[in-house]
Amino acid sequence: SSGNDDDLTIPRAAINKMIKETLPNVRVANDARELVVNCCTEFIHLISSEANEICNKSEKKTISPEHVIQALESLGFGSYISEVKEVLQECKTVALKRRKASSR
């Protein structure tokens, strides 16, 4: 990371909520929370850059979920793929329900 203050980061409130939900009875120091934010941001940059390269190589203009899954695999995060596919399916289900509700 360039260390630039203009870099996009995940909102701290979102990270704090995730930490609290994941570890409800654990106190986490502020600098540890900041480190988690930086790690999450770096992970997203890494995955999205790799997915973008895969997308470009397949001569597409839009990064698809498949590109993200391939990026996870190629970067050594293959163990995340089954969970990622479950979340993707949940997102598709929610989106379908929203579309049905809005068309009524």
Residue 51 tokens read as 């997915």
pLDDT for residue 5 is more than 60:
no
Binning pLDDT at 50, 70 and 90, where does residue 2 land? very low
Q: What confidence score (pLDDT) does residue 104 get?
A: 73
In this structure, CATH architecture of domain 12-102: Orthogonal Bundle (1.10)
Residue 75 tokens read as 């970067």
Residue 89 tokens read as 């399916």
End-to-end, the C-alpha distance of the chain in Å comes to 47
Give the mean pLDDT of 86-102: 92
pTM to 2 decimals?
0.79
